[in-house]
Structure 1
Amino acid sequence: MAVFIVDLLNLFYISLLHNPALTAAIGFCGAVGFVQLAVCIGLSIATSAVCAKFLGAGRGDLARKLGSSFMVTVFILTSLIGMLTYFFATPILHLFGAYGHGFSEALLYIKTVSPFLPLIALGMALTGLLRAVGDAKNAMAVTILGALATALFDPILIFGFKLGLLGAALSTVLTRFVIFFAAILYLRPHNLLEKPSLKAWPEANKVMGHIAIPAILTNMATPIGGAYITHSMAKFGLEAVAGQAVIDRITPVAFAFIFALTGSVGPIISQNYGAGHMKRVRETLLCSLKLVGLCVAFMWLLLALLQNQIIILFSATGTTAAIIHLFCSWLIAGHFFIGMLFVANVVFNNLGYPLFSTLFNWSRATLGTIPFVWLFLHFGPKGVLYGQFLGAVPFGICAIWAAFHVIKTLEKKQRQSTRSFSSPHAASPFQDVPLATEDSAMAELNTPP
């Protein structure tokens, strides 16, 4: 919740300026920022999943070596993305449908924030290491410090120095510094960081890339689909984009529990997979689905009751208010199916089937978004929302079915391996997932400690 409150606070403070163009600019910036953060999330998933597997297999030395070396890749890749976004910000924003005053404000924000993308990428990857080692408390502390920093910097820079949207951008940059240094501080006692090894770097890229590349592609799907939605909303004016911006900031805060769930159960699945306990993996998936259902039901009731207060809070009027009403009253229920897709992706990423995540996310972002939104466009901005959430239903159901099928397949392989080999080490689930170490992760993990 702390991570997403950072964006929500930015939007709240900007909305107090009572300028729809600034609120719409936040929407355009969010669409671009979500694409950038998709890469960061993918890199974090790979770091957490791979290191958790090695920790579960009792190889903390390999987790430390590969995790530390991979941080170099995280820095290089996100530095490149940040600078490309800086230099091509104008055509990118035009692609999202940004023009006029909203465009000029969004351009200033993007150019201020993008060069500092490596800070948040490294902070997220290091926090992934904290979760991999089971230190959820300090992983939480890192993000809470980030939220507190935003709560402090935003009013000072936006109102105190009267910098407007530029103040929000500078606040975001300062917050990224806080998250990065806090993650390093909390990770030090776990001895999971060392000087990156040039020799281990290719191996780290090989083992992490097996999960990172599909995970990045998977997470890119949602913001790409969101880009089409933002572009469609832009056809109905700045008030429609502002309404979408409010929903895009409320949603991750309202469903922070689901995002946290998918982040926390990944290492649980990986460690039990590494230890050969597939029954626990299945139990984790079932419990996750139950919790998703409870979360959606609770937030649906809460937002339906508080929708008028939310509209007042963000100074919403006209089309912006109508969009918020529709979302809080009915369409929020569609997040149950989105939650199903998220949970399924965790299973795929941590059990060696990351391409399944890529397939389902891109299918939902394209086949489950573009045709549905296009079909309902004649209903106006409300139709964009109808299409967005109806398209998530079939893909959420299919993804969760596939997740159970993957677990069933691995259970079958495990039983066959147990019957074929007398040694428990010969039946390691890592035989089905190619990994790498100094020489070969396959050899390392199949050698009894």
Structure 2
Amino acid sequence: MSTPLKIARLNANQSDFAQHLDVLLAWEGVSDKAVNNRVEEIIAAVRERGDAALVEYTARFDGLQVDAMADLILDRARLELALERITGEQREALEVAAERVKRYHEHQRQESWRYTEADGTVLGQQITPLDRAGLYVPGGKASYPSSVLMNAIPAKVAGVPEVVMVVPTPRGEINELVLAAACLAGVDRVFTIGGAQAVAALAYGTESVPRVDKIVGPGNIYVATAKRAVFGQVGIDMIAGPSEILVVCDGQTDPDWIAMDLFSQAEHDEDAQSILLSPDATFLDAVEASLNRLIGELEREAIVRVSLENRAALIKVDNLEQACELANRIAPEHLELSVEDPDALLPLIRHAGAIFMGRHTPEALGDYCAGPNHVLPTSGTARFSSPLGVYDFQKRSSVIFCSPDGASELGKTASVLARGESLTAHARSAEYRIKP
């Protein structure tokens, strides 16, 4: 029998609940000075010495000695070989997931548009894809083929001509599932490099690694710090924090199901967060009992235990409406509405990365094969940001065409405003187009 879990039990009506919740949600993901300094050194070295620095850092950090950068490049044929090497069951699962992700994201694709005003002036918006996207994929033990699909497929659906993937292979460990996923997702080039040095290579380019327009994908603190450092030189998806799940339950779902849903995020890492809100105190007791009974069956029990005892909570609320208010306060990455009528609650939800509706929709399905993207805003950033999608790989350019009559009329307005700002050249430029 495992040692009983010590999970926080809170009541939304207790006088100090707000303070307890703030402490529970607090997570500081900012790198310390030592990490920042190291990352800055690595970026500077890659910018200065290019491929030579990448080869050196790969030997130092990944324990992989190579003679030249050419030894760290995998061509399309190698990706196709990986697809042949995995089991038939794995290939079928990847193909099903890839097709579902592609089908969902095709609905997100935006098209150019324009309209013509009465005087012949044409206004519109032109949608174009990025020229090249960079995908960072963790290597070694933290290998996630599902993340390859979720990052690369939206880029391809958006029309990005070239997707470049970087993935470290510590001591030469190659994950065939990751390469197979890259093959199915349409990744064009793969470099077996990782860490801050890989981010720097994608941002600035080297003799072998092409410079990209945007870097997406998860990584450790060095990768996150490097992405933050190169932002502005290139676009990035987000600086992601630990994984989170918030479950709202009416007390009628099987407690074992809810316990396993909470475990599903807690097993990611010790900083992951799992929270349950319910108006039924007896149900909270039942879920706590399930957590204690089932935790011993988990392969990652040690990680789950730390996560639950440090960052989890079982919270009693008055009703489901109050639960939704709290959900908006928390703005979780994953929100499960495990209730009889989730559609009734949906209009009350304003902030969540992904919303899983009903008792039979566990978050785990979203991680792999439901279709929507699993790259989601964390740490409350769902208040102002969205899941990764096709729109992250498309740019919007304004289109303006003035007819002579339109330029004349607009010129009058622009002249007044420009002279009001003391920008005489602006005013005169507009005035030249005004008809006498």
| Same fold at TM > 0.5 | no
The structure having more radius of gyration, on CA atoms, is 2
- Normalising by structure 1, we get a TM-score of 0.22
Structure having the larger proportion of residues in strand:
2
- Normalising by structure 2, we get a TM-score of 0.23
Structure having the larger proportion of residues in helix:
1
